[in-house]
A and B are shown apart, each in its own frame.
Chain A
Amino acid sequence: MIPFSSVLIVSAVLFAMGLVGVLTRRSALVIFMSVELMLNAATLVFVGASRALGTMDGQLFAFFVMTVAAAEAAVGLAIVIALFRRRRTTDMDHVSLLKW
């Protein structure tokens, strides 16, 4: 059986990679994909903890994380489409009006 610590290591690596993606990429779509990476890393920890503790609550949490991710993807992509319609770009560096 798989030790919980290896699950934690893998998901920590995936989370860190997603973080790098969010902070360095400029395309809004790829930033969204990197957020999905981070969400999945978190989900993996929930499932791993669920396995380690022998209760299914972690899996339920993972299920709800997926629900939220689906909602986030739908709304986020709609925002990207609305943005593209108005500005003809998905480059986040060109959409910095609210940034100080």
Chain B
Amino acid sequence: MSARELVFWADAIVAVMSAGVVVLHRNAVVCALALVMNLCSIAVFFLLLDAAFLFAVQVILYAGAIMVLFLFVVMLLDPEGQGLAGRVGRIQLTLTVAGASLLLVGMARALPSAVADTGILPEGFGGVAGVGRLLFTDYLFPFELASILLLVAMIGAIHMGKKEVER
């Protein structure tokens, strides 16, 4: 087993455990911090998969910006958290876990048909220059659409978040 694979599986354990904390812990603040951990471990996956640019974006944008937003709202509204609580029925919980396991089995069964690795990577794979060049040539239209989406989301968020005007 190569060093890269070793790091991959160690990181996989970190990712799965932090995901478990997100799903199971009663306190929402702990959940948010575990999610930061999970996002960072995903970022390490990106690095291992030769996506250096996405690694940086993941850490800065996701683990940084989005999670600050999350933590801010959690602290503002729900510092106690509400947890799994007793009112999730046993039947519901069993069905949920069974459904998720079924999904997992289905995905595992699809593995043999997965794409085989070519193993050959072009020069500068996953770097800023390569991603940037693609982004402004082949993916220019989606890029512009994404900017419009962000603008719409910003306007929507401001509208939802502002105090209602007394009439």
A interface residues (Cβ-Cβ under 8 A, vs B): 1-10, 12-21, 23-27, 29-30, 32-34, 36-37, 40, 43-44, 47-54, 56-57, 59-60, 62-64, 66-75, 77-82, 84-85, 90-91, 93
- Taken together as a complex, chains A and B put the C-alpha atoms of A84 and B82 apart, in Å, by 14
How far is B150's CA from A68's CA once the two chains are assembled, in angstroms? 8
Chain A residues lying within 8 Å of B157, measured Cβ to Cβ, are 74-75, 77-78
Chain A residues near B135: list those with CB within 8 A: 60, 63
A24 touches B93 (CB 8 A): yes
Chain B residues numbered 115-134 whose CB sits less than 8 Å from any CB in chain A: 115-122, 125-126, 130-131, 134
Q: A47–B49 contact, CB under 8 A?
A: yes
Q: Distance in Å from the Cβ of B98 to the closest Cβ of chain A?
A: 10
Interface residues of B in 41-82 (CB under 8 A from A): 42, 45-46, 48-51, 53-54, 57-58, 61-62, 65-66, 69-70, 73-74, 76-78, 81-82
Residues of B within 8 A of A15 (CB): 103, 107
Partner among A47, A70, A91 whose Cβ is within 8 Å of the Cβ of B65: A70
User: A66 → chain B, closest Cβ, in Å?
Assistant: 6
B22 contacts A64, CB within 8 Å?
no
A residues near B61, Cβ cutoff 8 Å: 66, 70
In the complex, what distance in Å separates the CA atom of A42 from the CA atom of B25? 23
Given A29-B73, A70-B66; A54-B118 close (CB under 8 Å): yes
Contact A75 B160 (CB under 8 A): yes
The docked-state distance in angstroms from the alpha carbon of A5 to that of B107 is 11
CA–CA, A57 and B142, complex, Å: 12
Q: What are the interface flags for B91-122 relative to A under an 8 Å C-beta threshold, 1 for contact and 0 otherwise?
A: 01100110111011001101100111111111
Contacts A32-B70, A50-B126, A75-B156 known; list 14 others, CB within 8 Å. Answer: A9-B108, A17-B22, A17-B100, A19-B96, A21-B22, A23-B92, A24-B88, A27-B82, A44-B46, A60-B139, A63-B57, A64-B146, A70-B150, A73-B69
Given the interface pairs A27-B28, A70-B65, the reply to whether A40 lies near B38 with Cβ below 8 Å is yes
Q: Which A residues touch B117, using CB under 8 A? A: 1, 3-4, 51-52
**CB atoms of B131 and A54 under 8 A apart:** no
Chain B residues with CB under 8 Å of A79's CB are 160
Cα A45 to Cα B82 in complex, Å, equals 32
Which residue in chain B gives the minimum CB-CB distance to A12? B107
Whether B54 contacts A52 by the Cβ 8 Å rule is: no
